[in-house]
Structure 1
Amino acid sequence: MDVLSDAVAAMRTGRPHSSRQDLYAPWGLRFAASSGAGFHVVLQGSAWLLPSEGAPVAVGPGDVVFLAHGCGHGLASDPGVPLREVRPREDGTWPEPTPATGQLGEVPDTVLLCGAYHLDRARAHPLLSELPEVVHLPTRIGAHRSLRAAVELLGAELEDPQPGSDTIVTSLLDTLLLYMLRAWWQREQHGSGHPTGWSAALTDPAVTAALHAIHEAPSHPWTVEQLAGRAGLSRATFARRFTSLVGEPPLTYLTWWRMTTAGRLLRGGDVPLRLIAQRTGYTSEFAFAKAFKREYGVAPGQYRRRAS
């Protein structure tokens, strides 16, 4: 199984949304903090990102900015421009006109592509939790070609919707999220030459082998010895390396992933508790329910009703 894809799937809820906006200088937008994650792409012109903390960030044409933790922030044509609160609707459309409008036929100074994802912060995967508040991916010739292609396709669908666009846009947004995360992790792995944490875990063959085993078969009664065998290391060496890079011991992570998988199955439909227990490595529905309540604080049935 793909650990990065699993990490995103574990947190994603609801449908992502996006919007394309033509802006005429001077303009300034303020986005309130949210429980999800958001991104901005400058398709044309330039902008300044104003994070909740830290200096303004110049964003040029083709640049991608990902805000993984939903922190409040601003976007403006210039750092000194007053900001106006913008609260996109659930479907991604903006309820009011942009701060300034151009004359008929006038070319906008900036064209933005903005989007947001709904995330379950209660089960934030540590792989995503390591991301900084702002991930800035400047455009560079030959860099992140798949990410650029996804951005271009998404921008085209939003500019000129066609039959099937609703499904295409949703799929492109999911794809774009993975490309943004992949671009970040690749930059971390190759930038400093000394990746740490999950950036290092995903490049360590031994730890990656164990993680893939856990994600591929969370129902298997894994032992540290078995996972060490998959990693090709002694039990003690494997346990130390896994704990150092992942941030917790192998079986602790296994339990966390089982419970995260169970939560996703409960939110996603009407899979019987008996089957969820089997898929997450519990010999009985009672044992599963007891472990789930210990982890979430509520019984599985109650959790499902709340999520519906």
Structure 2
Amino acid sequence: MDPLSEVLSLLKPRSYITAGFDAGRPWALELDDLAGRIKCYAVVRGSCRLTLEGDATPVVVPEGACFVLPTGRTAVIGSDPGVPAVRASEVLDPNRSGEAVTYRGGGDVYLVGSRFEMGSPHAAALLRTLPPLILVETDDDRDRLRRSIEMMMAELRDGRPGADLMAQHLAHMMLVQALRLYLAARSPRETGDTGWFAALADPELSGAIGAMHADPGHAWTLRELAARSGMSRTVFAERFRERSGETPIAYLTRWRMTLAAERLREGTETLARIAHSLGYASEPAFTTAFRRVMGAPPGRYARSLAPPGSRSRRRPAG
């Protein structure tokens, strides 16, 4: 499985709301329900201005573009500067999935969007590695994204049997396609982005990241990873830290512990098996690394994820 697919699989995004939004000018909404969620929008008609919390300069999102808000930062979308923003949670029904909502008479902009709830208990740590705004304006593969959007709109409009499930699957396709297009179009050297996503977007680093994801239990060395990227060890180490914000070995360790945390949550494997599969010769060595990265030993971490009153079938040591 490729790195993007793996991370999305670990996040376990569930399409909680898929809906259309038709707004009339002037309008502004504060998206105040983003914490721990991913929101993905496509501008089907018109355009809008998007301002992230902490940023003074708005981004104009044109017709046909798609944007993703993955990190939980509050954002304001609207038609014009200076329009007082109304909280989206006060305007939009949280149970409106499958509907098209008209606001202020409609006619200025039409957006189709989905809100994804994360099913992973360690989603926050993964989401922090993404940029706060992912804007897709490229023409590459735009037709495929547009077809997904049009099919989603048809499902929302027609209400045929199975429409909700179809819209959810199409929403997932829209999210993956938007992230894929962003990776293909953006250069971290030009944008200054840092984090896991920026490293993956760097074509010279993606080979090393793919190798770590394909075989996390391998005893990767800096020399081997640099060779996967076609660089010297020094240049590779500097580039990786610049793009991702951490060393290659620190990234590998964090990825291993993320995988371990998911398997501990499932509760079907012994600690020894998990440790060995991720490249650790002993449980104590694995436990030390896990505690350092995740903030708790494996056993305590697993118990913290279990529902009250439940017992996992195999309780890992630690």
Q: TM-score, normalised by structure 1?
A: 0.76
Q: CA deviation at 1:228?
A: 4.2
Q: Structure 2: which amino acid aligns with 1:67?
A: L
How far the C-alpha of 1:294 sits from its partner, in A, is: 2.4
Question: CA shift at 1:94, angstroms?
Answer: 9.9
Query: Which one of 231, 252, 272 corresponds to residue 269 of structure 2?
Result: 272
String of CA shifts for 1:250-294, please: whole Å, max 9, x gaps.
322211110111123334x23323333233222344443332222
Letter in 2 for 1:73: A
User: Could you tell me which residue of structure 2 aligns to residue 16 of structure 1?
Assistant: 15
- 1:121 is aligned to 2:124: yes
- Equivalent-residue separation in structure 2 for 1:22 and 1:157 (angstroms): 17
Residue in 2 that maps onto 1:29: 29
Number of paired residues? 293
Over aligned residue pairs, what C-alpha RMSD do you find?
A: 3.6
Q: Distance in 2 between matches of 1:221 and 1:295?
A: 18
1:39 aligns with 2:40: yes
Counterpart among 61, 69, 72 of residue 70 in structure 1: 72
Pairwise CA distance, 1:217: 0.8
Aligned partner of residue 186 in structure 2, secondary structure: helix
Q: Percent identity?
A: 31
Choose 77-86 or 230-239, whichever is displaced more.
230-239
Give the secondary-structure state (helix, strand or coil) at the position aligned to 1:65: strand
The structural deviation recorded for 1:218 is: 0.6
* 1:3 partner letter: P
The one-character-per-residue Cα deviations of 1:122-152 (angstroms, maximum 9, x if unpaired) are: 24464x2xx2x434334x7666333223222
CA distance in 2, matches of 1:241, 1:59: 31
Distance 1:282 1:31, change over 3 A: same
Is contact 2:28-2:76 (8 Å) kept?
A: yes
Aligned pairs for 1:89-168 (under 5 A) are 93=97, 99-100=103-104, 102=105, 108-118=107-117, 120-124=123-127, 126=129, 128=130, 131=131, 133-138=132-137, 144-168=142-166
Match of 2:185 in 1: 187
Is the alpha carbon distance of 1:118 and 1:301 closer, same or farther for their aligned partners in structure 2, counting shifts above 3 Å? Answer: farther
Secondary structure of 2:279 counterpart: coil
Give me the whole-angstrom Cα distance separating, in 2, the residues matched to 1:221 and 1:190.
28
Q: Which amino acid aligns with 2:135?
A: H
Cα displacement (A) at 1:219: 1.2
Opposite residue 273 of structure 1, the aligned amino acid is T
Deviations 1:173-220 (A, max 9, x none): 33222222222232223995x987564664444x33322221101112
| Residues 92 and 249 of structure 1, relative CA distance in 2, 3 Å threshold | farther
* Residue range with higher mean Cα deviation, 53-62 or 234-243: 234-243
> Which amino acid counterpart does residue 209 of structure 2 have in structure 1?
L
Amino acid in structure 2 at the alignment position of 1:122: A
Change (3 A) 1:170 1:235: same
Provide the C-alpha distance between the structure 1 equivalents of 2:284 and 2:185, rounded to a whole number of angstroms: 45
Aligned equivalent of 1:2? 2
Separation (CA, whole Å) in 1 of partners of 2:159 and 2:276: 44
Alpha carbons of structure 1 residues 164 and 273: separation in structure 2 relative to 1, 3 Å: farther
SS of residue in 2 equivalent to 1:158: helix
Task: Map residues 213-224 of structure 1 onto 2, 5 A cutoff.
Answer: 213-224=211-222
Provide the TM-score with structure 2 as the length reference.
0.74
* Residues 86 and 94 in structure 1, CA contact (< 8 A), matched pair in contact too: no
Partners of 1:34 and 1:84 in 2: how far apart?
Answer: 18
- Distance change in 2, residues 1:304/1:239 (3 Å): same
1:250 maps to 2:252: no
Which of 298, 304, 307 pairs up with 2:305?
Answer: 307
Cα distance in 1 between the residues matched to 2:125 and 2:153? 32
Which amino acid in structure 2 is aligned with residue 35 of structure 1? G
Match of 2:313 in 1: none
Change (3 A) 1:232 1:71: closer
The AA in structure 2 aligned to 1:43 is V
- Counterpart AA for 2:153: G
Amino acid at match of 1:137: V
Find the residue that maps to 2:50 and give its secondary structure.
Answer: strand
C-alpha separation between the residues in 2 aligned to 1:123 and 1:68? 10
Q: Does the CA-based 8 Å contact 1:20-1:159 persist in structure 2?
A: no
Structure 2: tracts of 5 or more residues without a match: 307-318
SS at match of 1:214: helix
Cα 1:272–1:108 change in 2 (3 A) is same
- Residues 98/266 of structure 1: CA separation in 2 closer, same or farther (3 Å cut): farther
Question: Which SS does the other structure have where 1:176 is aligned?
Answer: helix
